[in-house]
Chains A and B, each alone.
Chain A
């Protein structure tokens, strides 16, 4: 997929501050900055949206029971220092932060999910994954639509665990774990 054209806004230099994104237009692309590197993602595919919505519903229902954390969808932004702002596909933050007015920090996230698209593979798999690990986010799921698998990353991991059958995640102080049937997640409508 071709890289979307950059908007006609001033670019202060090759390494961007996160604040530069404030001037970017709402044009359907997703603009993020990680350690100064600009990441531009075009609108996701239908399949990406379908699976994101399906997974979001499962996580949301689970969190309604757990009540200790809440789900946020992109384009909710999270900062990490002056040169990083990301908008993960799905992010879970503590319920205590639900009404916070100040910007969320990447370190607030308990759980992050990104769905791989052809145009975001490198960023999701390497650039943002490194950020999520650096920020100490306990669990990062990388949903590989092509392989129909979920990579599970934790802060100290060098390589992911790859789940093809089932994968679990537990919210803090939750009685039971969220269990995702991986083939069912990828099943056609």
Chain B
């Protein structure tokens, strides 16, 4: 069935934000730290309304995401959750921070990691993740598609999905890949040890029924 307008545009029209909210300024103490940051130096600045992530010392600031992003993320999260945590469930899906000290600290939109590691109280190492998904938002295109994606590849994370609602495509990146595999109809991922794939119907994801 043809859809007259992309989900992204439709949803943002249906749930308008009204006047754009002012971009919050970063605390002067944070700016005074200089161009390079560490997990330790950022610690006092979390929880002030912005998501402060760190990749190779580069500060990535996210302060809002669109309604379309949240809706799409929720649907994708449910699909990944149902797959990753089905019995037996060697995997856990979380919305938590992962790190590679001293200069990488990220909060992926979706991450899957072995349950044995998820049970620990220690900060979760980036290299322990087996799947990451980032849903591109207008304010985070570069960071999601390039900066964080390249860092996930370097960390050896088996699969990274970059979900692009505007192009209605999921890019699948693996370590060492110079280009993604683009999936338009179905996005597939198989967790290590599983005998079947996670299958996400992309037209349904990008064009949910009302």
Interface status of A168 (Cβ within 8 A of chain B) = no
* Nearest-CB residue, chain A, relative to B153: A35
Q: Mark B25-69, 1 if CB is under 8 A from A, else 0.
A: 000000000011010000000000000000111100000000000
Residues of chain B within 8 A of A81, CB atoms compared: 178
Interface status of A37 (Cβ within 8 A of chain B) = yes
Q: Mark A37-79, 1 if CB is under 8 A from B, else 0.
A: 1000000000000000000000000000000000000000000
Q: Given contacts A81-B178, A82-B178, A122-B58, is CB(A127)–CB(B36) below 8 Å?
A: no
Interface status of B147 (Cβ within 8 A of chain A) = yes
Residues of chain B within 8 A of A37, CB atoms compared: 142, 145-146
Chain B stretch 124-154: residues in CB contact (< 8 A) with chain A: 142, 145-147, 150, 154
Partner of A36, one of B35, B56, B167, B179: B179
Interface status of B180 (Cβ within 8 A of chain A) = yes
Residues of chain A within 8 A of B178, CB atoms compared: 17, 35-36, 81-83
Q: Given contacts A15-B179, A126-B58, is CB(A159)–CB(B146) below 8 Å?
A: no
Residues of chain B within 8 A of A102, CB atoms compared: none
Question: In which size bucket is the chain A interface?
Answer: 20 to 34
Q: Given contacts A130-B150, A159-B36, A160-B36, is CB(A82)–CB(B179) below 8 Å?
A: yes
Interface status of B123 (Cβ within 8 A of chain A) = no
Interface size on B, residues (CB 8 A): 22
Residues of chain A within 8 A of B150, CB atoms compared: 35, 130
Complex CA–CA separation, A121 to B154 (angstroms):
23
Give the Cβ gap from A154 to chain B, nearest Cβ, in Å.
Answer: 14
Interface status of A125 (Cβ within 8 A of chain B) = yes
Q: Is the CB of A126 within 8 A of B56?
A: yes
Which of A13, A14, A130 neighbours the largest number of chain B CB atoms within 10 Å of its CB?
A: A14
**Which B residues are closer than 8 A to A by beta carbons?**
35-36, 38, 55-58, 102-103, 142, 145-147, 150, 154, 164, 167, 171, 178-180, 182
Q: Would you give 20 A-B contacts (Cβ < 8 Å), ordered by A?
A: A13-B182, A14-B145, A14-B164, A14-B167, A15-B171, A15-B179, A15-B180, A35-B150, A36-B146, A37-B142, A37-B145, A82-B179, A122-B58, A126-B58, A126-B147, A158-B38, A158-B57, A158-B102, A158-B103, A159-B36
**Which A residues are closer than 8 A to B by beta carbons?**
13-15, 17, 35-37, 81-83, 121-122, 125-127, 129-130, 134, 158-160
- Interchain residue pairs A-B with the least CB separation, the first 6: A37-B146, A126-B58, A83-B178, A82-B178, A35-B150, A158-B103
